[in-house]
Structure 1
Amino acid sequence: MAISSNFCGGNIVHTATIVESPTKCRVELNVDQDPYTELEDTIHSQWFYFKGSLMDPILGGPNKGEEVTVDYVITNANRVAFPSAWPGSSVCVSTNGKKSWERKTKTDYDKAEGTLSWQHVHRQYEEGTYFSFFEPYTLDRHIDLVDRCRATRGVNVSVIGRSLENRDIELITVGTGPLKCWINHRQHPGETQAEFFAEGLLTRLCGLDDFGAVDGLAHKAREAFTFYIVPNINPDGSANGYLRTNAGGANLNREWATTGDYEAPTLERSPEVYYVLKKMDEVGVDAFADIHGDEEMPFNFIAGAEGCTNWGPRLQGLQGAFLGAYCRTNPDMQKEVSYDPEDPNGANLAVCSNQIATRFNCLSITLEMPYKDCYTCPDPERGFTGGRCARLGMNIVDAFMHVKDWLRSEEPFWENLGEDDQYIRPKEEWEGKATMMGQE
């Protein structure tokens, strides 16, 4: 077997191939690590993406062994950032040159051995097979998305700064409305769900699939809002195949404020955050969403600003109504399960959505999507997909439009919200959690 990850977003270390017979072998792998993260005093890892190919000539000669069964085994699966994410996970696989992805439903995590394993049958003369933690979103696809936006009338693409490795940080601006809505994506580069989300959002707002023509609600949204969209705030981590950090090891979602003696953001360590926050201060923010993927939880959900000092009936009402509208528009979203909210006045202001909620006194949420199958709308064969991420990106427009008149309202709108718009305090518990997470 030939194992390769020397391409955009690739990550794996091939440690051994054990030939068991002319038609069967075991390939042992390690997930490679992100750079050291100073603030958290840790080294993150979990994202993997690689290609496996039969070597030529095939084992056993040209007329034998036309199929080879390969057991792929990640031997350091218990030493990644979130080992409890593996139970219930299924590896993504593409056998047609990354044109489409399916799931290895028989992915197995052996907690005692600390291994993640799956089996694949390789056939002679087929192109290489790709495996990944979730569907990859490459920088080539990112560049194509940005170029399509740039070529669309009424859409502005600007470069507001550059990363540590001198890649562009693009800001896509669309709309002419007075309300300023910011949506950032992919602070954690291994959470590729976020950029599929961005593609769906931009496709709808910019009319990318219809020569710039948009649907009626998107048209109204562009009149009500000016959208500031950062489709990939961490291009270095994305290119290098990292899970959570930029090229210097900074976890960007802990770089939005100084923590103790650790100054942030800085041009030396986190220019990506520095430039985006600077632009936010210049133009203002009336609503904000930070788009992520969650390794462990099989749900789409939002985490809000409950721990911020300005949390009260207004922000609670906005968050409840926003999430209520989102759930009505797309059943992949739900209300009941999320991270346990932070204690009152206990928010970590180095986390992006907390910083924005406090700094601009606005609706500000973190949106998380699963790597696993989605419990609210399960599809075991395909799992949660990039296409469904994109649909959530399209539907966030509906949720923002539902709350637009209340974002800066001085009236106590929360007193008259309907039942479906009421805030529900979420819990980080769900039926079957202990079994899935290997806690039983």
Structure 2
Amino acid sequence: MKISTQFDAGSVVVKDLSNPADIRLALRADHAADFAQWFYFRLQGAAYQNCVMHFENAAEAAYPEGWEGYQACASYDRQNWFRVPTEYENGVLTINHTPLANSIYYAYFEPYSNEQHLNLLGEAQGSGLCQIDDLGSTVQGRDINLLTIGNQVASDLKVWIIARQHPGETMAEWFVEGLLSRLLDPQDSTARALLDRATFYIVPNMNPDGSVLGNLRTNAAGVDLNREWENPTLERSPEVYRVREKMLETGVDLFLDIHGDESIPFIFAAGTEGVPSYDERIAELERQFKAALEAASPDFQDEYGYPKDEPGKADLRLATNWVGERFGCLAYTLEMPFKDNNNLPDDDFGWNGQRSLRLGEAVLSAIWSVSGSLR
């Protein structure tokens, strides 16, 4: 048997591989940081053997409560992913699976590779409706790309959507793929109507370094980008610095920051209730947006989510809070689960890339619903 991780986003520590019934593993911490939860590895040479894989340090994960009710993802071809039996007991996460081929991949969630990211950019540009701009470089010199879709006239609404500040939250880029597919469809009436009214600024991957390195939460400097928005620097967080700079140039009327949550098995949104400028206008926009998204996608709900910040107590280092306060606009963090959506569970696939993609398509209906009220 052999376990390997020498590919895009690969990550695991192998402690003992001598017995397929007792494979001892450990979660590897983020590059230059202590966060650990993401794993992605290839197992070879174990066809038709019952493989029991123990992550012995699972209790030390960034979000150990995320293991409760969690099932790991597996694939033979890295295109079709399914869930496999997984248990968390006494601080150890155990995957119990018999592979039906000599090569199989296991991951924390369905990956979204750098090749897919580059293909997504190419396909968007190929539509003839999208302009790609380079905002600068990451800590390790990768591109920070912005997709601009729309007429780019002063009267347009400015809709900003960013994803994967936390690189292990790959469902966020699947979401963007779905949103782009619909937005760039000339036969889609909602997309056409929106592009008559708004220009979209989309960053499909805020954290290219962390994505390639196999990090859960941080960039190559070990920085959580979603704690940098109040005072980003080119040394620590060039990704936030450059995107924020562009926002200040264009303005923002609606902002969505797309994420995944390790623990909560629902799709939900977190708003800006705690920022100093929050008022009834924003509260009404939030209600309108959430009602429209619930109507567009039964996957979305508003019963379960994060506790709301008390007035004036919001952390302005977070993207949604900083943008909402700086531009006085509707701003939301949209969260999807690493587990399954308990409202519409799927035993075979759980929450996955395709379901994230469909939610991305549906969110355009919610944006259209509020577009007439954003100014």
- Are 1:116 and 2:105 an aligned pair? no
* Greater mean alpha carbon deviation, residues 168-177 or residues 69-78: 168-177
How far 1:127 sits from its partner (Å)? Answer: 4.6
Give the partner amino acid of 1:249: G
SS in 2 for 1:406: coil
Q: Distance between the aligned counterparts of 1:345 and 1:351, measured in 2?
A: 14
Distance (whole Å) between structure 2 residues aligned to residue 304 and residue 396 of structure 1 = 16
The 1-side partners of 2:257 and 2:69 are apart by 26
Show the 5 A alignment for 1:25-424: 25-37=21-33, 43-54=34-45, 67-95=48-76, 97-104=77-84, 106-110=85-89, 112=90, 114-123=91-100, 126-176=101-151, 178-207=156-185, 213-257=186-230, 264-408=231-375
Distance in 1 of aligned mates of 2:99 and 2:161: 41
Output the amino acid matched with 1:45: A
Work out whether residues 305 and 311 of structure 1, in 8 Å CA contact, stay in contact via their aligned partners in 2.
yes
Contact 1:197-1:390 within 8 A present in 2 as well: yes
Which structure has the bigger radius of gyration?
1
* Kept in 1: contact 2:2–2:17 (CA 8 A): no
Give 3-state SS (helix, strand or coil) of 1:369's partner.
strand
Q: Distance in 1 between matches of 2:44 and 2:18?
A: 15
Indicate the larger mover: 393-402 or 297-306: 393-402
Gap regions ≥5 residues in structure 2: none
- State the number of aligned residues: 372
Q: CA deviation at 1:122?
A: 3.4
2:179 and 2:102 map into 1 onto residues whose CA distance is 33
CA contact (8 A) 1:17 1:25 kept: no
**CA–CA distance in structure 2, aligned partners of residues 229 and 335 of structure 1:** 25
SS of 1:68's equivalent in the other structure is coil
| C-alpha distance in 2 between matches for 1:33 and 1:377 | 32
Letter in 1 for 2:92: T
Within 2, Cα distance between the matches of 1:330 and 1:127?
Answer: 39
Query: Does the CA contact (< 8 Å) of 1:164 and 1:236 recur in 2?
Result: yes
Structure 2 CA distance for aligned equivalents of residues 89 and 80 of structure 1: 14
Q: 2:31·2:213 contact (CA, 8 Å) conserved in 1?
A: no
CA drift of 1:35 comes to 3.5
Letter in 1 for 2:48: E
TM superposition shift of 1:25: 3.1
Equivalent position amino acid for 2:73 in 1: C
Q: Deviations over 1:266-320 (max 9, x none)?
A: 0000000000000000010000000000000000000000000111110100011
Decide whether the 8 Å contact of 1:205 with 1:214 is kept in 2: no
CA distance in 2 between counterparts of 1:129 and 1:297 reads 28
Shift of 1:36: 4.3
The RMSD of aligned alpha carbons is 1.2
